[in-house]
Amino acid sequence: MFQTFKNAWKIPDLRKKLLFTVLAIVLYRLGACIPVPWVTSAFADSLSQAGTNAAFTYLNIMSGDAFGKATLFALSVSPYITASIVVQLLTIAIPPLERLAKEGEAGKKKISMITRIITVVLSLVTAIGYARLLRVQYGALSVSVDSNKNLTGEGWFQMIVIIACFCAGAALIMWIAERIDEFGIGNGISIILFANIVARIPSQIQELITVALKKPSNENASMSAQTAVWTDNPVHIVLGILGILLFLAVVVAVFYFVIWFTNSERRIPIQYAKRTVGRKMYGGQSSNLPLKMNMAGVMPIIFASSIVNIPSMLGGIFSGKFWTNVTNAFNQTHASYIIISGVLLVAFSYFYIMISFNPVEVANNIKNNGGAIPGIRPGRPTIDFIKKVLNRVTFIGAVFLCLVSTLPMAANAIYMLFANTTTPNIIEYTRNSLVSELAFAGSSLLIITGVVIETTRSLDAQMSLRNYKGFLD
Protein backbone atom coordinates (compact mmCIF):
# COMPACT_ATOMS: atom_id res chain seq x y z
CA MET A 1 0.00 0.00 0.00
CA PHE A 2 2.71 2.49 1.04
CA GLN A 3 4.78 1.51 -2.00
CA THR A 4 1.77 2.27 -4.22
CA PHE A 5 1.43 5.78 -2.80
CA LYS A 6 5.20 6.28 -3.08
CA ASN A 7 5.18 5.29 -6.75
CA ALA A 8 2.10 7.41 -7.44
CA TRP A 9 3.83 10.45 -5.92
CA LYS A 10 6.53 10.22 -8.59
CA ILE A 11 3.98 10.73 -11.40
CA PRO A 12 3.17 14.47 -11.81
CA ASP A 13 -0.56 14.22 -12.60
CA LEU A 14 -1.17 11.62 -9.85
CA ARG A 15 0.78 13.79 -7.43
CA LYS A 16 -1.56 16.68 -8.27
CA LYS A 17 -4.58 14.47 -7.60
CA LEU A 18 -3.17 13.33 -4.27
CA LEU A 19 -2.40 16.91 -3.23
CA PHE A 20 -5.89 18.02 -4.27
CA THR A 21 -7.44 15.24 -2.18
CA VAL A 22 -5.33 16.17 0.85
CA LEU A 23 -6.18 19.88 0.50
CA ALA A 24 -9.88 19.02 0.19
CA ILE A 25 -9.67 17.00 3.43
CA VAL A 26 -7.88 19.89 5.17
CA LEU A 27 -10.58 22.31 3.97
CA TYR A 28 -13.27 19.98 5.27
CA ARG A 29 -11.62 19.58 8.66
CA LEU A 30 -11.28 23.37 8.99
CA GLY A 31 -15.03 23.72 8.37
CA ALA A 32 -15.66 21.03 10.97
CA CYS A 33 -13.95 23.24 13.58
CA ILE A 34 -15.93 26.44 12.90
CA PRO A 35 -19.00 26.72 15.18
CA VAL A 36 -22.18 28.26 13.92
CA PRO A 37 -23.16 31.67 15.39
CA TRP A 38 -24.74 31.97 18.85
CA VAL A 39 -23.51 28.62 20.17
CA THR A 40 -22.71 28.90 23.87
CA SER A 41 -19.20 28.02 25.02
CA ALA A 42 -20.55 25.60 27.63
CA PHE A 43 -22.03 23.41 24.94
CA ALA A 44 -18.69 21.99 23.70
CA ASP A 45 -19.32 18.24 24.20
CA SER A 46 -22.91 18.02 25.39
CA LEU A 47 -24.16 16.08 22.37
CA SER A 48 -21.24 13.70 22.44
CA GLN A 49 -22.25 13.06 26.05
CA ALA A 50 -25.91 12.56 25.15
CA GLY A 51 -26.12 9.12 26.65
CA THR A 52 -26.63 6.15 24.39
CA ASN A 53 -28.69 7.77 21.65
CA ALA A 54 -27.52 5.76 18.66
CA ALA A 55 -28.18 8.49 16.11
CA PHE A 56 -26.23 11.16 18.00
CA THR A 57 -23.31 8.80 18.65
CA TYR A 58 -23.24 7.66 15.03
CA LEU A 59 -23.52 11.19 13.59
CA ASN A 60 -20.83 12.45 15.94
CA ILE A 61 -18.47 9.68 14.86
CA MET A 62 -19.21 10.04 11.15
CA SER A 63 -18.83 13.83 11.33
CA GLY A 64 -15.53 13.74 13.23
CA ASP A 65 -17.04 15.47 16.32
CA ALA A 66 -18.54 18.23 14.15
CA PHE A 67 -22.09 17.20 15.11
CA GLY A 68 -21.34 17.17 18.84
CA LYS A 69 -19.87 20.68 18.67
CA ALA A 70 -22.54 22.23 16.40
CA THR A 71 -20.03 23.36 13.78
CA LEU A 72 -20.58 24.45 10.18
CA PHE A 73 -20.24 20.86 8.93
CA ALA A 74 -22.34 19.32 11.71
CA LEU A 75 -24.68 17.56 9.25
CA SER A 76 -21.68 15.95 7.52
CA VAL A 77 -22.43 13.73 4.50
CA SER A 78 -25.62 12.18 5.93
CA PRO A 79 -28.06 14.27 3.79
CA TYR A 80 -26.05 13.50 0.65
CA ILE A 81 -25.94 9.77 1.42
CA THR A 82 -29.67 9.64 2.16
CA ALA A 83 -30.41 11.56 -1.05
CA SER A 84 -28.28 9.11 -3.04
CA ILE A 85 -30.20 6.17 -1.55
CA VAL A 86 -33.55 7.80 -2.38
CA VAL A 87 -32.50 8.54 -5.98
CA GLN A 88 -31.20 5.00 -6.55
CA LEU A 89 -34.44 3.51 -5.23
CA LEU A 90 -36.50 5.89 -7.35
CA THR A 91 -34.41 4.99 -10.41
CA ILE A 92 -35.54 1.39 -10.04
CA ALA A 93 -39.17 2.22 -9.21
CA ILE A 94 -39.82 5.05 -11.71
CA PRO A 95 -39.38 4.16 -15.45
CA PRO A 96 -38.53 7.75 -16.61
CA LEU A 97 -35.64 7.88 -14.12
CA GLU A 98 -34.53 4.41 -15.20
CA ARG A 99 -34.42 5.54 -18.83
CA LEU A 100 -32.57 8.67 -17.74
CA ALA A 101 -29.91 6.55 -16.01
CA LYS A 102 -29.29 4.67 -19.28
CA GLU A 103 -28.75 7.81 -21.38
CA GLY A 104 -25.04 7.94 -20.67
CA GLU A 105 -23.20 11.01 -19.41
CA ALA A 106 -26.11 13.41 -20.05
CA GLY A 107 -28.46 11.24 -18.03
CA LYS A 108 -25.96 10.95 -15.18
CA LYS A 109 -25.69 14.74 -15.00
CA LYS A 110 -29.48 15.09 -14.69
CA ILE A 111 -29.62 12.42 -11.99
CA SER A 112 -26.78 14.18 -10.15
CA MET A 113 -28.78 17.41 -10.26
CA ILE A 114 -31.82 15.62 -8.80
CA THR A 115 -29.60 14.19 -6.06
CA ARG A 116 -28.30 17.68 -5.23
CA ILE A 117 -31.81 19.09 -4.97
CA ILE A 118 -32.94 16.29 -2.66
CA THR A 119 -29.77 16.80 -0.59
CA VAL A 120 -30.61 20.48 -0.07
CA VAL A 121 -34.19 19.64 0.95
CA LEU A 122 -33.05 16.97 3.43
CA SER A 123 -30.39 19.34 4.77
CA LEU A 124 -33.03 21.99 5.41
CA VAL A 125 -35.30 19.56 7.28
CA THR A 126 -32.41 18.16 9.32
CA ALA A 127 -31.04 21.62 10.08
CA ILE A 128 -34.42 22.82 11.38
CA GLY A 129 -34.72 19.79 13.68
CA TYR A 130 -31.13 20.08 14.87
CA ALA A 131 -31.43 23.81 15.60
CA ARG A 132 -34.62 23.17 17.58
CA LEU A 133 -32.85 20.42 19.51
CA LEU A 134 -29.98 22.75 20.38
CA ARG A 135 -32.31 25.52 21.55
CA VAL A 136 -35.04 23.61 23.38
CA GLN A 137 -33.45 20.43 24.77
CA TYR A 138 -29.85 21.48 25.33
CA GLY A 139 -30.18 25.24 25.69
CA ALA A 140 -27.01 25.51 23.64
CA LEU A 141 -28.01 28.60 21.64
CA SER A 142 -28.00 32.14 23.04
CA VAL A 143 -30.94 33.26 20.93
CA SER A 144 -33.41 35.96 21.92
CA VAL A 145 -36.57 34.67 23.63
CA ASP A 146 -39.39 36.33 25.60
CA SER A 147 -40.52 35.55 29.14
CA ASN A 148 -42.31 32.38 27.95
CA LYS A 149 -39.12 31.19 26.19
CA ASN A 150 -40.67 31.80 22.76
CA LEU A 151 -38.58 33.25 19.96
CA THR A 152 -38.66 37.02 19.52
CA GLY A 153 -38.16 38.82 16.23
CA GLU A 154 -34.42 38.90 16.78
CA GLY A 155 -34.51 35.26 17.90
CA TRP A 156 -36.20 34.20 14.66
CA PHE A 157 -33.47 35.97 12.69
CA GLN A 158 -30.79 34.17 14.71
CA MET A 159 -32.44 30.78 14.14
CA ILE A 160 -32.71 31.44 10.40
CA VAL A 161 -29.00 32.29 10.27
CA ILE A 162 -28.11 29.12 12.22
CA ILE A 163 -30.25 26.92 9.96
CA ALA A 164 -28.78 28.60 6.87
CA CYS A 165 -25.26 27.87 8.16
CA PHE A 166 -26.05 24.17 8.62
CA CYS A 167 -27.58 23.97 5.11
CA ALA A 168 -24.67 25.87 3.56
CA GLY A 169 -22.24 23.51 5.29
CA ALA A 170 -24.04 20.43 3.93
CA ALA A 171 -24.06 21.92 0.41
CA LEU A 172 -20.34 22.75 0.69
CA ILE A 173 -19.58 19.18 1.80
CA MET A 174 -21.47 17.87 -1.25
CA TRP A 175 -19.44 20.20 -3.48
CA ILE A 176 -16.13 19.08 -1.89
CA ALA A 177 -17.06 15.39 -2.36
CA GLU A 178 -17.90 15.94 -6.03
CA ARG A 179 -14.65 17.84 -6.60
CA ILE A 180 -12.72 14.92 -5.08
CA ASP A 181 -14.52 12.59 -7.48
CA GLU A 182 -13.56 14.83 -10.40
CA PHE A 183 -10.05 16.03 -9.58
CA GLY A 184 -8.87 13.79 -6.72
CA ILE A 185 -8.34 10.13 -5.91
CA GLY A 186 -11.09 7.77 -4.80
CA ASN A 187 -14.74 8.30 -3.92
CA GLY A 188 -15.40 11.72 -2.37
CA ILE A 189 -18.00 10.58 0.19
CA SER A 190 -15.85 7.65 1.33
CA ILE A 191 -12.76 9.87 1.61
CA ILE A 192 -14.63 12.36 3.83
CA LEU A 193 -15.99 9.60 6.06
CA PHE A 194 -12.48 8.15 6.28
CA ALA A 195 -11.11 11.54 7.36
CA ASN A 196 -13.83 11.94 10.00
CA ILE A 197 -13.25 8.51 11.54
CA VAL A 198 -9.46 8.94 11.58
CA ALA A 199 -9.86 12.40 13.18
CA ARG A 200 -11.53 10.79 16.21
CA ILE A 201 -8.80 8.19 16.81
CA PRO A 202 -6.63 10.45 19.06
CA SER A 203 -9.56 11.23 21.37
CA GLN A 204 -10.48 7.53 21.56
CA ILE A 205 -6.89 6.62 22.40
CA GLN A 206 -6.96 9.27 25.13
CA GLU A 207 -10.17 7.78 26.54
CA LEU A 208 -8.62 4.30 26.44
CA ILE A 209 -5.55 5.48 28.38
CA THR A 210 -7.79 7.28 30.90
CA VAL A 211 -9.84 4.15 31.53
CA ALA A 212 -6.77 1.90 31.81
CA LEU A 213 -4.30 4.02 33.78
CA LYS A 214 -6.22 6.72 35.66
CA LYS A 215 -8.53 7.00 38.69
CA PRO A 216 -11.03 9.58 40.03
CA SER A 217 -9.46 12.41 41.99
CA ASN A 218 -12.20 12.18 44.63
CA GLU A 219 -14.57 9.21 44.79
CA ASN A 220 -16.96 11.02 47.17
CA ALA A 221 -17.33 14.19 45.12
CA SER A 222 -19.92 14.69 42.39
CA MET A 223 -18.80 13.75 38.90
CA SER A 224 -18.69 17.40 37.80
CA ALA A 225 -16.13 18.04 40.55
CA GLN A 226 -14.01 14.99 39.69
CA THR A 227 -10.92 14.83 37.52
CA ALA A 228 -9.00 11.84 36.22
CA VAL A 229 -5.52 11.53 37.77
CA TRP A 230 -2.77 8.96 37.14
CA THR A 231 -3.05 5.90 39.36
CA ASP A 232 -0.25 5.02 41.76
CA ASN A 233 -1.21 1.36 42.13
CA PRO A 234 1.46 -0.86 40.44
CA VAL A 235 -1.02 -3.69 39.87
CA HIS A 236 -3.45 -1.28 38.24
CA ILE A 237 -0.67 0.07 36.01
CA VAL A 238 0.43 -3.40 34.86
CA LEU A 239 -3.13 -4.57 34.22
CA GLY A 240 -3.90 -1.33 32.41
CA ILE A 241 -0.90 -1.67 30.08
CA LEU A 242 -1.75 -5.31 29.39
CA GLY A 243 -5.34 -4.31 28.65
CA ILE A 244 -4.21 -1.64 26.17
CA LEU A 245 -1.85 -4.10 24.43
CA LEU A 246 -4.58 -6.75 24.26
CA PHE A 247 -7.02 -4.23 22.80
CA LEU A 248 -4.50 -3.13 20.16
CA ALA A 249 -3.75 -6.77 19.29
CA VAL A 250 -7.45 -7.48 18.75
CA VAL A 251 -7.79 -4.37 16.56
CA VAL A 252 -4.79 -5.38 14.42
CA ALA A 253 -6.07 -8.98 14.10
CA VAL A 254 -9.55 -7.82 13.04
CA PHE A 255 -7.98 -5.28 10.67
CA TYR A 256 -5.94 -7.97 8.89
CA PHE A 257 -8.94 -10.31 8.78
CA VAL A 258 -11.06 -7.60 7.15
CA ILE A 259 -8.32 -6.91 4.58
CA TRP A 260 -7.93 -10.64 3.82
CA PHE A 261 -11.66 -11.14 3.36
CA THR A 262 -12.04 -7.98 1.28
CA ASN A 263 -9.31 -9.17 -1.10
CA SER A 264 -10.74 -12.71 -1.30
CA GLU A 265 -12.56 -13.64 -4.49
CA ARG A 266 -14.45 -16.48 -6.19
CA ARG A 267 -13.00 -17.13 -9.62
CA ILE A 268 -15.21 -18.56 -12.37
CA PRO A 269 -13.00 -20.27 -15.01
CA ILE A 270 -13.46 -19.17 -18.62
CA GLN A 271 -12.07 -20.97 -21.68
CA TYR A 272 -11.69 -19.05 -24.94
CA ALA A 273 -11.99 -20.89 -28.24
CA LYS A 274 -9.30 -20.64 -30.92
CA ARG A 275 -10.09 -18.40 -33.88
CA THR A 276 -8.20 -17.34 -36.98
CA VAL A 277 -7.90 -13.65 -37.93
CA GLY A 278 -5.97 -13.25 -41.17
CA ARG A 279 -2.89 -15.41 -40.85
CA LYS A 280 -2.78 -15.41 -37.06
CA MET A 281 -4.39 -17.72 -34.55
CA TYR A 282 -5.99 -16.14 -31.49
CA GLY A 283 -7.66 -17.57 -28.40
CA GLY A 284 -7.31 -20.96 -26.89
CA GLN A 285 -6.47 -19.35 -23.56
CA SER A 286 -7.86 -19.89 -20.09
CA SER A 287 -8.95 -16.98 -17.93
CA ASN A 288 -11.34 -16.37 -15.05
CA LEU A 289 -14.12 -14.06 -13.94
CA PRO A 290 -13.22 -12.79 -10.42
CA LEU A 291 -16.11 -12.13 -8.05
CA LYS A 292 -15.07 -10.33 -4.86
CA MET A 293 -16.38 -11.90 -1.65
CA ASN A 294 -17.21 -8.40 -0.44
CA MET A 295 -18.13 -6.96 -3.81
CA ALA A 296 -20.41 -4.29 -2.33
CA GLY A 297 -17.56 -2.81 -0.30
CA VAL A 298 -18.46 -0.25 2.36
CA MET A 299 -21.56 1.17 0.66
CA PRO A 300 -24.07 -1.18 2.42
CA ILE A 301 -22.65 -0.08 5.79
CA ILE A 302 -22.96 3.59 4.93
CA PHE A 303 -26.48 3.17 3.57
CA ALA A 304 -27.73 0.94 6.40
CA SER A 305 -26.26 3.16 9.14
CA SER A 306 -27.83 6.26 7.63
CA ILE A 307 -31.28 4.68 7.43
CA VAL A 308 -31.37 2.88 10.79
CA ASN A 309 -30.40 6.03 12.72
CA ILE A 310 -33.12 8.26 11.25
CA PRO A 311 -35.88 7.18 13.73
CA SER A 312 -33.55 7.63 16.70
CA MET A 313 -32.53 11.08 15.48
CA LEU A 314 -36.17 12.11 15.06
CA GLY A 315 -36.91 10.75 18.52
CA GLY A 316 -34.20 12.98 19.97
CA ILE A 317 -35.50 16.06 18.15
CA PHE A 318 -39.23 15.75 18.85
CA SER A 319 -40.87 15.31 22.24
CA GLY A 320 -43.75 13.11 23.36
CA LYS A 321 -44.41 9.56 24.49
CA PHE A 322 -44.39 8.18 20.95
CA TRP A 323 -40.99 9.63 20.13
CA THR A 324 -39.63 8.49 23.50
CA ASN A 325 -40.65 4.92 22.64
CA VAL A 326 -39.03 5.31 19.21
CA THR A 327 -35.78 6.47 20.82
CA ASN A 328 -35.81 3.52 23.22
CA ALA A 329 -36.55 1.04 20.42
CA PHE A 330 -33.69 2.34 18.29
CA ASN A 331 -31.20 2.61 21.11
CA GLN A 332 -27.89 0.97 20.16
CA THR A 333 -28.17 -1.31 23.22
CA HIS A 334 -31.61 -2.56 22.17
CA ALA A 335 -31.98 -5.86 20.31
CA SER A 336 -34.28 -4.29 17.70
CA TYR A 337 -31.56 -1.82 16.67
CA ILE A 338 -29.02 -4.62 16.18
CA ILE A 339 -31.47 -6.86 14.28
CA ILE A 340 -32.67 -4.06 11.98
CA SER A 341 -29.05 -3.05 11.29
CA GLY A 342 -28.23 -6.61 10.26
CA VAL A 343 -31.31 -6.92 8.03
CA LEU A 344 -30.55 -3.61 6.32
CA LEU A 345 -26.94 -4.63 5.74
CA VAL A 346 -28.08 -7.79 3.95
CA ALA A 347 -30.73 -5.92 1.96
CA PHE A 348 -28.38 -3.15 0.84
CA SER A 349 -25.67 -5.69 -0.05
CA TYR A 350 -28.01 -7.38 -2.52
CA PHE A 351 -29.37 -4.02 -3.68
CA TYR A 352 -25.92 -2.57 -4.39
CA ILE A 353 -24.82 -5.71 -6.28
CA MET A 354 -28.03 -5.63 -8.29
CA ILE A 355 -27.40 -2.07 -9.55
CA SER A 356 -23.63 -2.41 -10.04
CA PHE A 357 -23.23 -5.90 -11.58
CA ASN A 358 -25.22 -7.14 -14.57
CA PRO A 359 -24.87 -10.94 -15.13
CA VAL A 360 -26.62 -10.69 -18.53
CA GLU A 361 -24.10 -8.15 -19.82
CA VAL A 362 -21.16 -10.16 -18.45
CA ALA A 363 -22.44 -13.39 -20.05
CA ASN A 364 -22.94 -11.64 -23.39
CA ASN A 365 -19.41 -10.20 -23.28
CA ILE A 366 -17.98 -13.66 -22.63
CA LYS A 367 -19.98 -15.10 -25.52
CA ASN A 368 -19.06 -12.30 -27.95
CA ASN A 369 -15.35 -12.79 -27.20
CA GLY A 370 -15.55 -16.49 -27.99
CA GLY A 371 -15.39 -17.62 -24.37
CA ALA A 372 -17.42 -20.09 -22.33
CA ILE A 373 -17.54 -21.46 -18.81
CA PRO A 374 -16.42 -25.12 -18.89
CA GLY A 375 -19.43 -27.41 -18.65
CA ILE A 376 -21.91 -24.52 -19.05
CA ARG A 377 -23.58 -23.72 -22.39
CA PRO A 378 -23.50 -20.08 -23.60
CA GLY A 379 -26.60 -17.93 -23.32
CA ARG A 380 -29.23 -18.48 -20.64
CA PRO A 381 -27.39 -21.33 -18.81
CA THR A 382 -24.32 -19.09 -18.41
CA ILE A 383 -26.47 -16.23 -17.08
CA ASP A 384 -28.18 -18.54 -14.59
CA PHE A 385 -24.85 -19.97 -13.44
CA ILE A 386 -23.30 -16.52 -12.88
CA LYS A 387 -26.43 -15.42 -10.98
CA LYS A 388 -26.27 -18.51 -8.75
CA VAL A 389 -22.60 -17.98 -7.92
CA LEU A 390 -23.17 -14.25 -7.44
CA ASN A 391 -26.03 -14.84 -4.98
CA ARG A 392 -23.86 -17.19 -2.91
CA VAL A 393 -20.93 -14.78 -2.89
CA THR A 394 -23.20 -11.85 -1.99
CA PHE A 395 -24.73 -13.82 0.89
CA ILE A 396 -21.31 -14.64 2.32
CA GLY A 397 -20.24 -11.00 1.99
CA ALA A 398 -23.46 -9.79 3.64
CA VAL A 399 -22.98 -12.21 6.56
CA PHE A 400 -19.40 -10.97 6.94
CA LEU A 401 -20.57 -7.34 7.08
CA CYS A 402 -23.26 -8.24 9.62
CA LEU A 403 -20.83 -10.02 11.92
CA VAL A 404 -18.16 -7.34 11.86
CA SER A 405 -20.70 -4.51 12.23
CA THR A 406 -23.19 -5.95 14.76
CA LEU A 407 -20.94 -7.97 17.10
CA PRO A 408 -19.49 -4.80 18.72
CA MET A 409 -23.07 -3.54 19.17
CA ALA A 410 -24.06 -6.80 20.87
CA ALA A 411 -20.98 -6.58 23.13
CA ASN A 412 -21.93 -2.99 24.00
CA ALA A 413 -25.51 -4.08 24.85
CA ILE A 414 -24.20 -6.81 27.17
CA TYR A 415 -21.78 -4.41 28.84
CA MET A 416 -24.51 -1.81 29.46
CA LEU A 417 -26.55 -4.39 31.38
CA PHE A 418 -23.88 -4.39 34.11
CA ALA A 419 -22.46 -0.88 33.77
CA ASN A 420 -23.06 1.87 36.33
CA THR A 421 -24.97 4.48 34.35
CA THR A 422 -26.94 6.07 37.21
CA THR A 423 -24.22 7.51 39.45
CA PRO A 424 -20.92 6.92 37.63
CA ASN A 425 -17.59 8.44 38.58
CA ILE A 426 -15.40 10.12 35.97
CA ILE A 427 -13.64 6.85 34.99
CA GLU A 428 -16.89 4.90 34.73
CA TYR A 429 -18.41 7.68 32.65
CA THR A 430 -15.41 7.71 30.31
CA ARG A 431 -15.54 3.91 30.04
CA ASN A 432 -19.27 3.96 29.21
CA SER A 433 -18.67 6.65 26.58
CA LEU A 434 -15.77 4.70 25.07
CA VAL A 435 -17.72 1.44 24.93
CA SER A 436 -20.69 3.26 23.38
CA GLU A 437 -18.41 4.62 20.65
CA LEU A 438 -16.76 1.23 20.14
CA ALA A 439 -20.21 -0.18 19.30
CA PHE A 440 -19.65 1.40 15.90
CA ALA A 441 -16.02 0.27 15.73
CA GLY A 442 -16.86 -2.55 13.32
CA SER A 443 -18.50 -0.19 10.85
CA SER A 444 -15.68 2.34 11.24
CA LEU A 445 -13.03 -0.33 10.67
CA LEU A 446 -14.79 -1.58 7.55
CA ILE A 447 -15.04 1.96 6.18
CA ILE A 448 -11.34 2.66 6.86
CA THR A 449 -10.09 -0.57 5.28
CA GLY A 450 -12.53 -0.32 2.37
CA VAL A 451 -11.51 3.25 1.54
CA VAL A 452 -7.79 2.42 1.77
CA ILE A 453 -8.15 -0.66 -0.46
CA GLU A 454 -10.34 1.12 -3.04
CA THR A 455 -8.00 4.13 -3.17
CA THR A 456 -4.96 1.86 -3.56
CA ARG A 457 -6.66 -0.04 -6.38
CA SER A 458 -7.58 3.21 -8.09
CA LEU A 459 -3.95 4.35 -7.95
CA ASP A 460 -2.72 0.98 -9.22
CA ALA A 461 -5.15 1.11 -12.13
CA GLN A 462 -4.11 4.63 -13.10
CA MET A 463 -0.41 3.78 -12.87
CA SER A 464 -0.97 0.66 -14.99
CA LEU A 465 -2.55 2.78 -17.71
CA ARG A 466 0.43 5.14 -17.69
CA ASN A 467 2.97 2.31 -17.78
CA TYR A 468 1.23 0.36 -20.53
CA LYS A 469 3.32 -0.10 -23.68
CA GLY A 470 1.48 -0.09 -26.96
CA PHE A 471 2.42 -1.86 -30.20
CA LEU A 472 4.52 1.11 -31.36
CA ASP A 473 6.90 0.83 -28.37
- From residue 393, how far is each of 359, 386, 399, 436, 449 by CA, in Å? 13, 10, 10, 32, 20
**Cα–Cα distance measured from residue 262 to residue 328, given in angstroms and rounded to the nearest whole number:** 34
Instruction: For the chain, give the secondary structure using H, E and C.
Output: CHHHHHHHHCCHHHHHHHHHHHHHHHHHHHHCCCECCCECHHHCCCCCCCCCCHHHHHHHHHCCCCCCCCECCCCCCHHHHHHHHHHHHHHHHCHHHHHHHCCCHHHHHHHHHHHHHHHHHHHHHHHHHHHHHHHHHCCCECCCECCCCCECHHHHHHHHHHHHHHHHHHHHHHHHHHHHHHHCCCCHHHHHHHHHHHHCHHHHHHHHHHHHHEEECCCCCCHHHCCEEECCCHHHHHHHHHHHHHHHHHHHHHHHHHHHHHHCEEEEEEEECCEEECCEEECCCEEEEEEECCCCCCHHHHHHHHHHCHHHHHHHHCCCHHHHHHHHHCCCCCHHHHHHHHHHHHHHHHHHHHHHCCHHHHHHHHHHCCEECCCCCCCHHHHHHHHHHHHHHHHHHHHHHHHHHHHHHHHHHHHHHHCCCCCCCHHHHHHHHHHHHHCCHHHHHHHHHHHHHHHHHHHHHHHHHHHCCCCCC
Tell me: do 304 and 183 sit in the same domain.
Answer: no
Residue 456 lies in a domain: no
Tell me: do 43 and 191 sit in the same domain.
Answer: yes
pLDDT at residue number 473? 46
Residue 450 lies in a domain: no
Residue 461 lies in a domain: no
The count of structural domains within the chain is 2
Residue 313 lies in domain? 201-439
Largest pairwise CA distance in the chain: 94
Query: Final residue of a domain: which of 156, 175, 199?
Result: 199
Residue 447 lies in a domain: no
The phi and psi torsions of 188 (rounded to 5 degrees) equal -60, -45
The phi and psi torsions of 140 (rounded to 5 degrees) equal -90, -10
**Cα–Cα distance measured from residue 82 to residue 331, given in angstroms and rounded to the nearest whole number:** 20
Tell me: do 238 and 354 sit in the same domain.
Answer: yes
pLDDT at residue number 368? 83
Tell me: do 164 and 307 sit in the same domain.
Answer: no
Tell me: do 96 and 171 sit in the same domain.
Answer: yes
Tell me: do 91 and 110 sit in the same domain.
Answer: yes
pTM > 0.85: no
Q: Are 131 and 38 in contact (CB under 8 A)?
A: no
pLDDT at residue number 470? 47
Tell me: do 87 and 129 sit in the same domain.
Answer: yes
Tell me: do 76 and 89 sit in the same domain.
Answer: yes
Mean pLDDT by 10 residues, the chain (473 residues): 73 85 90 84 51 64 78 86 83 80 79 89 87 74 74 83 91 90 85 87 87 84 78 89 91 87 87 67 73 83 80 70 75 80 88 84 84 85 90 90 86 81 79 80 83 82 64 45
Residue among 267, 258, 301, 254 nearest 398 (CA): 301
User: What CATH code is carried by the domain that includes residue 169?
Assistant: 1.10.3370.10
Residue 445 lies in a domain: no
Residue 431 lies in a domain: yes
Tell me: do 114 and 186 sit in the same domain.
Answer: yes
Residue 236 lies in a domain: yes
Tell me: do 432 and 340 sit in the same domain.
Answer: yes
Residue 267 lies in a domain: yes
Tell me: do 183 and 254 sit in the same domain.
Answer: no
Tell me: do 168 and 230 sit in the same domain.
Answer: no
